[in-house]
Amino acid sequence: MTHDTIIVLDFGSQYAQLIARRVREQRVYSELLHWDAPAEQALASKSVKGFILSGGPASVYEPGAPTLPAYVLESGLPVLGICYGMQLLAHNLGGRVAPSQAREYGPAEIELLDAHNPLFAGCSVQVAGDALQVASLASDLQPAPLPPATLPVWMSHGDRIERLPAGWQALARSTNSPYAAMGDPARGAYGLQFHPEVTHTPQGAALLRAFAVDICGAAADWTPANFIAEASAAVQAQVGQAHVLCGLSGGVDSSVVAALLHQAIGDQLTCLFVDHGLLRQGEAEQVIDTFQRHMQAPLVAVNATEAFLADLEGVTDPESKRKRIGNRFIRVFEEEAARIAAQWALPAPRSPTPALRAGASVLGTDEPGSPLPAPRTIGYLAQGTLYPDVIESASGSREQAARTIKTHHNVGGLPEDMTFRLIEPLRLLFKDEVRAVGEALGLPAEIVWRHPFPGPGLAIRVLGEVTWPRLETLRQADAILLEELHAAGLYRATSQVFAVLLPVKSVGVMGDNRTYADVVALRAVTTDDFMTADWARLPYDLLARISNRIVNEVAGVNRVVYDITPKPPGTIEWE
């Protein structure tokens, strides 16, 4: 199935991916491309229905500033420019863009000059005073003019449009921007000086839906059910008769991949859970129990703690940690794949409960006398890679021109000589889309709404060298944090919560004695897509209770701090 598509061209905005995600929330498929993507890439599919031009930090009149690809206007398709994208349209079509005497950053209010324009028609506008108050019809007076309709929006710009292009009309204005929105409705072309994609613009979703569905005419068919059907067909075509090994962590991403693949290829799938010794308290047993209760695919569970900790001995650099862990994962997977393939030629064992010892495995539930599986090889490794993983691991790629922030073990941390081919069916999905797919596949809430846990595990939450005693300290502190969060009923109100063991000690006083012990940092964030995040405003009494318990119950810790850094400028994880 080919979906009608809105192409979002990224001119360097921190919100570019958010634009694509917001369009998808309207059930319209969108793709994000770099602003200088060639026409054959942007228009490769005949299903493209329109363009959205993102904001960006440049000024259109500066040398070297990103330019508007000619095919955008030559295509005759509807186009929506946002912030820099709006200025770029004006600049290219003969308007005038200049620095503003007063910049606009943050909340603002725009006055609509044409509230019935197709772009704004679906918005719930604010009206000052009583919009229904008109002069008495019995009098010979003309009806009183209606008060202006306004919208609260989010601005972030230092330039503004001072002259519109020929044929364009002003649709809205603000105190500082005479043209806060502009349009050429006959051509389906519009520009917004504000950002409709952020939640601080309450009517932003309605604006994006009006553009994608009403103006572009795109079909709203980007649904979990359609994605599952299409992804299953794509997997079947890619894999053929080969066998797939799926790395299972117990998190929502890998669980959705496992459920999707099992629906698509059945017994060609084997799931592999590797206990690398970097999990939270009791997590290995919990993952296996949950998998057995809710999933039907065969599971292999392997304890490789000693190998992972040996690789991490003396390592303090976070990038080195991630790469070493990614490398060891692949080596363990390759060893297990060879062992599993060898066993396929023998009678398959009945399915015991997988024990967490090296090499423990479950290969199926074959009944006595059932046909033996034909000898096969494992050609593919399936992973729960998501779009944010790919972006944060980007290193100068044309598609995103993003600098490497950190290497995700399942993107940039894989060895070049691995014997598997990768299959990543969720690679272009955001986290909220993955959860929706999980629910559509029938996965239980305890899996779908489980907080993310990084592939490198606690290795990137133990800052500095990773040792077993330090891991145990962090496990205890983290368990207290999660226990109290659940007891307070706030687990679902947060998106990701964890403890971090810092590589510093602090002086304290306990029982009239001086202590010099470890510091634990608590991190709790709220987010929809994990590309941006805000720190969670947990109640003070809850934080006090957590801090008190950690200091009293976890040996070697005498101080607890709370991280109140949003993303950006920070990342969610500390390493």
Query: Which of 83, 123, 246, 271 is the catalytic position?
Result: 83
Q: Is 83 a catalytic residue?
A: yes
Assigned token pair, 276: 């690398």
The dihedrals phi and psi of 299, each to the nearest 5 degrees, come to: -125, 135
- For residue 429, which of 228, 292, 276 has the smallest C-alpha distance? 228
Assigned token pair, 438: 């999980």
Q: First-to-last CA distance in the chain?
A: 40
Q: How far is 281 from 476, CA to CA, in rounded Å?
A: 7
The dihedrals phi and psi of 170, each to the nearest 5 degrees, come to: -75, 130
**In angstroms, what CA-CA distances link 182 with 89, 167, 186, 191?**
10, 10, 13, 5
Q: Which residues contact 453 (CB under 8 A, 6 or more apart)?
A: 249, 250, 251, 280, 283
In this structure, the strands spanning 421-423 and 378-382 are: parallel
Assigned token pair, 369: 């006398």
Query: Which of 91, 157, 195, 408 is the catalytic position?
Result: 195
Q: How far is 411 from 373, CA to CA, in rounded Å?
A: 32
Residue pointed to by tokens 């009006």: 210
DSSP state of 122: T
Query: Which of 104, 123, 157, 197 is the catalytic position?
Result: 197
Determine contact, residues 388/530, Cβ cutoff 8 Å: yes
Classify each residue of 5-37 as buried b or exposed e, where b means 16 or more C-beta atoms within 10 Å of its C-beta. bbbbbbbbbebbbbbbbbbbbbbbbbbbbbbeb
H or E element in which residue 469 lies: helix 468-487
- For residue 192, which of 117, 101, 94 has the smallest C-alpha distance? 117
Q: Is 294 a catalytic residue?
A: no
Q: Is 246 a catalytic residue?
A: no
Q: How far is 274 from 438, CA to CA, in rounded Å?
A: 22
**In angstroms, what CA-CA distances link 481 with 153, 163, 234, 380?**
37, 56, 41, 38
- The verdict on whether omega for the bond into residue 566 sits within 30 degrees of 0, i.e. cis, is no
Residues with active-site annotation: 83, 195, 197
